[in-house]
């Protein structure tokens, strides 16, 4: 009996210690202190001219933090139609953090749009409640409600579902979100008809998507509705989307304790890279967001964007991009370069310690797949599966 007691006490103590270690390790791994803009405020505000012959798309952004792919994917895809005025609208005339490795400038503030009386055909709501740590901002919720008319199409992406649900517009209507957040949001907002195992929901003019990566399916679905099959197919081919039709079937797989344990093991026993991504003018927003959002889920020691001279650059469709990293005295040991030859940067004096990973336009692979394949080679297929879960790419 005494031995049994000792065994039980020993087992309990071991479980307690392991639990505490896991708790503090997980807190450290998943803690994401959002970056703040520290550059100068001499901004060059650039706004695309309104073409009355085109449809108008508003993409909502929160200055404090907006999810990268949720935002960039629809921005690129709607622009790629060539038939839309696409505007980024935020609360403040100030940089927007695309979590957690890039700043962009919005085109307009909510109040500016109100004064100009521009009417949107489509409103896109990305995840602007990062990690669901805070409730949806009242100013965003109210502004979306004020902009939604009978004919306005609303697309909520990933945890943008929280903001969408808070508007009340989805009450009694289907709504989905990231698989790992579905239960939490269902408790917080019980009135929508929460749906699992689908990439996209549709009810009249109300659309929503599953997590992160499903921003592609949601955007393509709305593009097909607004601009037609032919335009959708052109955009689909542009990004090397794998299916001939838009994928709707989805497996809502949640991030589990096993997933977290594997991430911790990777942090503890495999190389932790200080990752840099070099950006330049005309960078493809879709490819850039795919790279940054995929690699951030490998939990590198650091992940920052850089420009050669530290100055902002302009993306393919006109976004002003501001890097989060400072070139001077950087400690990057893996530098990713989109659309540039590795030989041009190998041994670049600004990145003396960095191994260069270059991507070319010759790749006919869907960007997320391209980056996931490399992660699989680095860390193994099981860790690659963890990244897919966090992207809700199932």
Alpha-helical segments (H) within the chain: 2-30, 68-80, 110-116, 138-147, 160-167, 182-188, 215-227, 229-238, 257-269, 285-296, 367-379, 381-391
Query: What is the CB neighbour count within 10 angstroms for residue 318?
Result: 15
- pLDDT one-digit tens code per residue, 87-119: 999 999 999 999 999 999 999 999 999 999 999
3-class secondary structure, 306: strand
Q: Quick check: 67 pLDDT over 80?
A: yes
What residues does 274 pair with on adjacent strands? 302
Structure tokens at 205: 């003019």
Of all residues in the chain, what percent carry a pLDDT higher than 90? Answer: 79
Using CA atoms, how far residue 296 sits from 10, 278, 285, 353, in Å, is: 38, 15, 16, 20
Looking up tokens 């540039």 gives: 340
Residue 174 and residue 196: Cα distance in Å, rounded?
Answer: 10
CATH topology of domain 257-391: Rossmann fold (3.40.50)
Topology annotation, domain 55-238:
Rossmann fold (3.40.50)
The answer to whether residue 148 scores a pLDDT higher than 70 is yes
State residue 347's pLDDT score.
65
Say whether pLDDT at 12 is over 60: no
Nearest to 129 by CA among 118, 145, 141, 121: 141
Residue ranges matching CATH 3.40.50.880 in the chain: 55-238, 257-391
Predicted local distance difference test score (pLDDT) of residue 28: 46
Cis peptide leading into residue 151 (ω within 30°)? no
Structure tokens at 9: 């006490």
- Indicate if the pLDDT at residue 150 is higher than 90: yes
Query: What is the model's pTM?
Result: 0.92
Average pLDDT, whole number, for the chain? 91
Give me the pLDDT at residue 27, please.
Answer: 46
Pick from 349, 314, 319: nearest CA to 335: 349
- What's the pLDDT score for residue 340? 64
Give the three-state DSSP class for 300: coil
Three-class DSSP category at 209: strand
Q: Tell me the average pLDDT across 363-375.
A: 94
Whether the predicted pLDDT of 157 surpasses 50: yes
pLDDT tens digits, one per residue of 13-33? 554 444 444 444 444 444 568
Across the chain, which distance is largest between two alpha carbons, in Å? 85
Q: What is the pLDDT of residue 26?
A: 47
Handedness of CA 245, 122, 208, 110 (dihedral sign): positive
Lowest mean pLDDT among 74-78, 132-136, 283-287: 132-136
> Is the CB of residue 126 less than 8 Å from the CB of residue 154?
no
Question: Tell me, what's the pLDDT at 31?
Answer: 53
Which strands, in side-by-side order, build the sheet including 313-314? Answer: 66-67, 96-99, 102-104, 320-323, 313-314
Span 221-275, pLDDT tens digits = 999 999 999 999 999 999 999 999 999 999 999 999 999 999 998 888 888 899 9
Structure tokens at 227: 């601009």
Average pLDDT over residues 208-231: 99
pLDDT at 173: 99
């Amino acid at each position: 009996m005494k031995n049994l007691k000792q065994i039980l006490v020993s087992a309990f103590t071991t479980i307690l210690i392991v639990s505490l270690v896991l708790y503090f390790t997980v807190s450290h791994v998943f803690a994401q202190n959002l970056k703040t803009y520290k550059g100068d405020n001499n901004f060059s505000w650039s706004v695309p001219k309104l073409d009355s012959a085109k449809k108008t798309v508003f993409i909502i952004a929160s200055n404090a933090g907006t999810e990268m792919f949720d935002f960039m994917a629809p921005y690129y895809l709607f622009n790629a139609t060539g038939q839309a005025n696409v505007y980024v609208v935020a609360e403040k005339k100030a940089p927007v953090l695309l979590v957690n490795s890039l700043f962009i400038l919005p085109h307009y503030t909510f109040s500016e749009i109100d004064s100009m009386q521009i009417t949107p055909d489509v409103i896109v709501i990305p995840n602007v409640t990062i990690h669901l740590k805070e409730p949806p901002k009242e100013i965003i919720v109210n502004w979306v409600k004020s902009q939604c008319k009978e004919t306005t199409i609303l697309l909520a992406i990933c945890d943008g579902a929280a903001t969408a649900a808070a508007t009340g517009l989805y009450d009694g209507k289907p709504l989905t979100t990231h698989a790992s957040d579905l239960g939490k949001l269902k408790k917080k907002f019980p009135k929508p008809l929460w749906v699992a195992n689908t990439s996209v929901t549709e009810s009249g003019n109300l659309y929503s998507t599953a997590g992160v990566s499903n921003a592609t399916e949601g955007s393509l679905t709305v593009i097909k509705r607004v601009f037609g099959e032919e335009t959708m197919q052109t955009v689909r081919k542009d990004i090397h989307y794998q299916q001939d039709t838009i994928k709707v079937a989805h497996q809502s797989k949640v991030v589990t304790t096993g997933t977290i344990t594997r991430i911790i093991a990777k942090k503890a026993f495999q190389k932790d890279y200080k990752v840099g991504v070099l950006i330049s003018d005309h960078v493809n927003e879709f490819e850039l967001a795919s790279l940054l959002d995929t690699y951030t889920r490998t939990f590198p020691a650091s992940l920052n964007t850089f420009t050669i001279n530290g100055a902002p650059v302009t993306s393919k469709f006109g976004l002003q991009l501001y890097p989060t990293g400072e070139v001077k005295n950087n400690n990057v040991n893996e530098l990713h370069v989109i659309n540039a030859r590795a030989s041009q940067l190998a041994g670049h004096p600004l990145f003396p310690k960095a191994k260069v990973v270059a991507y070319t336009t010759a790749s006919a692979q869907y960007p997320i797949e391209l980056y996931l394949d490399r992660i699989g080679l680095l860390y193994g297929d099981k860790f690659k599966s963890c990244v897919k879960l966090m992207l809700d790419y199932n």
